[in-house]
C-alpha cells in the first residue's frame, strides 16, 4: 500500500540459457513509471538510490511508493545491449477514512457518512475504484446508498477514491460504524450519537350518553363512548414515525363488546384498523363496518414539546 516498503525484490542478469550470469559484476539503472516511487538497497535505513550493483549476476533492492496505482519498475543496462527487466507493482491506498464528522441524530433519522481512500500524504486517492464494507455495533443500525429511497446495504463502491452512504438507527446509544477494505487490510472506525425522544401517551374516556369523564366511569348498554388519546414528545429531539395503537378496548375477553362508530383521521398523517379476523389493513384504511379489533394512527414527525390528540367513538352493545 502507499508508503509501505515492498518485500525484497531480487534481480538476475541472465545469459542465453536464462541462468544467472555469474561473471556480471556491474551496475544497472532503476526506473519507475510513478513520480512518487523510490528505491533503496536497505529496508532500514532507507536511502534513495537510482542504480543497483550486481554481484555474480545477482542484485536486490526494495521499492516504496507514496501514491496508489500500477507502477512499472524497470532495471536497465541498455548500453550493454541487455534487455531490461520490467515488473508491475500494484500500490493500494494507504488508508480508508471516514471523512465526515461524527454526527448526532434522533432514532429514525439518517445522516450521511463520507468515506475516502487516501494516499500516505492524506490526499484523496483518485485512482481507487473499489468497494469497502461497513458494519455497526448497533443491532438496529442500517446503511443505504440513498436516504430518499432506502435500501439496506453493507457495501459501498468508492469512485475516484470517494463515496457516501447514509446511516440510521432505531435505538439510541453511541454506536460505532466501521469501514473496511479487506483486500488492503485497512479500516476506519467512528463513534456516532443516536438520541431518542421521550414519548408519553394519555388515554381518557368520555361517556357522551351520561356526560361523564373518567377511567372507572359506569357504562350501560347503548352508551356512546369517546376515547381520547394524547401523545406528547417531552424529550429534546424530534420523534419520527410515531405509531399510536389501541386494541385494548376491543378485547372482549377483558371489556364489554363494542360497536365501532368513527375515528379521527386528523391530525394523524395516516391511519388503519384491524379487521374482525385480526389482520391489520393498509395505511389509509377506515373501518367500513362496526366489527373491528383495533385502531392505529401514524404521525410522521412529532416535534419537541408537541402534542397531538386523536379520538374514536364506540357504542356499548
Domain ranges for the chain? 9-91, 95-195, 199-316
What is the band of 4 on the pLDDT scale with cuts at 50, 70, 90?
confident
Residues in Cβ contact with 186 at an 8 Å cutoff, skipping those fewer than 6 apart: 1, 92, 93, 94, 95, 96, 180
Q: What is the pLDDT of residues 31-57, one digit of tens each?
A: 999 998 999 999 999 999 999 999 999
Same fold flag, 95-195 and 199-316: yes
Q: What is the mean pLDDT of residues 53-68?
A: 93
Task: Return the C-alpha cell found at 183.
Answer: 483486500
What does the pLDDT read at residue 236? 80
Give the residue with greater pLDDT, 98 vs 108.
Answer: 98
Of residues 48 and 18, the one with the higher pLDDT is 48
Pairwise CA distance, residues 90 & 95, whole Å? 15
- Which residue from 146, 120, 122, 29 is spatially nearest to 66, judged by alpha carbons? 120
Which option is the CATH number for 199-316: 3.40.50, 2.40.128, 1.10.1760, 2.60.40?
2.60.40
Is the pLDDT at 15 greater than 80? The verdict is no
Q: What tens digit of pLDDT does each residue of 290-306 get? A: 899 999 999 999 999 99
pLDDT value for 133: 96
Beta-sheet pairing, 85-91 with 69-76: antiparallel
Q: Determine the average pLDDT of the residues in 251-263.
A: 90
At 31 the pLDDT is: 97
pLDDT, mean of residues 273-297 = 95
Name the CATH superfamily for 9-91. Answer: Immunoglobulins (2.60.40.10)
Residue 239 clears pLDDT 90, i.e. is over it = no
Contact 231, 200 (CB under 8 A): yes
| More confident site: 81 or 137 | 137
Q: What pLDDT does residue 16 have?
A: 67
* Reported pTM: 0.58
What does the radius of gyration of the chain's CA atoms come to, in whole angstroms?
A: 35
Q: Which of 119, 64, 72 is nearest to 95 (CA)?
A: 119
Fold entry, domain 95-195 = Immunoglobulin-like (2.60.40)
Contacts of 188 (CB under 8 A, 6+ apart): 95, 96, 97, 98, 115, 178, 179
How large is the average pLDDT for residues 226-250? 92
User: Residue 163, CB half-sphere, CA atoms under 13 Å: how many?
Assistant: 22
Grid cell at residue 249? 378496548
Average model confidence (pLDDT) for the chain? 92
**Res. 217: pLDDT tops 80:** no
Q: Mean pLDDT throughout 223-240?
A: 91
How far apart are alpha carbons 117 and 187 in whole angstroms?
10
Q: What cell numbers appear for 7 in the block?
A: 518485500
Q: What CA–CA distances, in Å, run from 138 to 83, 103, 225?
A: 58, 15, 44
Alpha-carbon 44 to chain mean position:
40
Number of neighbours of residue 102 by Cβ within 10 angstroms: 13
* CA dist., res. 108 & res. 231, Å (int): 18
The three cell numbers locating residue 308: 397531538
Average pLDDT, integer, range 196-208: 92
Amino acid at each position: 500500500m502507499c508508503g509501505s516498503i515492498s518485500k525484497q525484490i531480487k534481480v538476475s542478469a541472465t545469459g542465453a540459457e536464462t541462468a544467472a550470469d555469474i561473471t556480471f559484476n556491474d551496475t544497472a539503472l532503476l526506473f519507475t513509471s510513478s513520480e512518487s516511487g523510490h528505491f533503496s538497497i536497505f529496508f532500514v535505513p532507507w536511502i534513495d538510490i537510482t542504480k543497483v550493483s550486481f554481484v555474480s549476476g545477482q542484485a536486490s533492492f526494495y521499492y516504496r511508493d507514496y501514491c496508489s496505482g500500477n507502477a512499472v519498475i524497470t532495471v536497465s543496462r541498455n548500453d550493454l545491449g541487455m534487455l531490461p527487466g520490467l515488473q508491475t507493482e500494484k500500490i493500494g491506498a494507504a488508508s480508508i477514512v471516514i471523512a465526515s464528522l461524527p454526527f448526532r441524530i434522533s432514532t429514525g433519522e439518517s445522516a450521511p457518512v463520507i468515506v475516502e481512500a487516501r494516499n500516505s500524504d492524506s490526499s484523496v486517492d483518485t485512482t481507487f475504484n473499489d468497494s469497502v464494507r461497513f458494519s455497526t455495533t448497533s443491532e438496529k443500525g442500517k446503511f443505504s446508498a440513498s436516504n430518499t429511497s432506502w435500501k439496506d446495504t453493507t457495501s459501498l463502491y468508492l469512485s475516484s477514491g470517494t463515496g457516501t452512504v447514509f446511516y440510521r438507527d432505531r435505538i439510541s446509544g453511541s454506536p460505532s460504524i466501521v469501514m473496511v477494505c479487506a483486500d488492503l487490510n485497512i479500516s476506519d472506525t467512528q463513534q456516532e450519537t443516536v438520541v431518542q425522544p421521550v414519548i408519553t401517551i394519555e388515554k381518557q374516556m368520555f361517556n357522551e350518553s351520561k356526560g361523564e369523564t373518567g377511567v372507572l366511569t359506569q357504562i350501560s348498554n347503548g352508551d356512546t363512548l369517546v376515547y381520547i388519546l394524547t401523545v406528547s414528545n417531552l424529550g429534546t429531539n424530534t420523534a419520527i414515525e410515531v405509531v399510536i395503537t389501541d386494541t385494548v378496548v376491543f378485547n372482549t375477553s377483558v371489556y364489554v363488546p363494542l360497536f365501532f362508530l368513527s375515528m379521527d383521521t386528523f391530525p394523524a398523517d395516516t391511519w388503519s384498523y384491524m379487521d374482525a379476523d385480526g389482520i391489520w389493513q393498509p395505511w389509509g384504511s377506515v373501518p367500513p363496518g362496526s366489527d373491528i379489533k383495533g385502531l392505529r394512527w401514524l404521525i410522521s414527525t412529532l416535534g419537541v414539546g408537541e402534542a397531538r390528540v386523536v379520538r374514536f367513538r364506540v357504542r356499548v352493545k
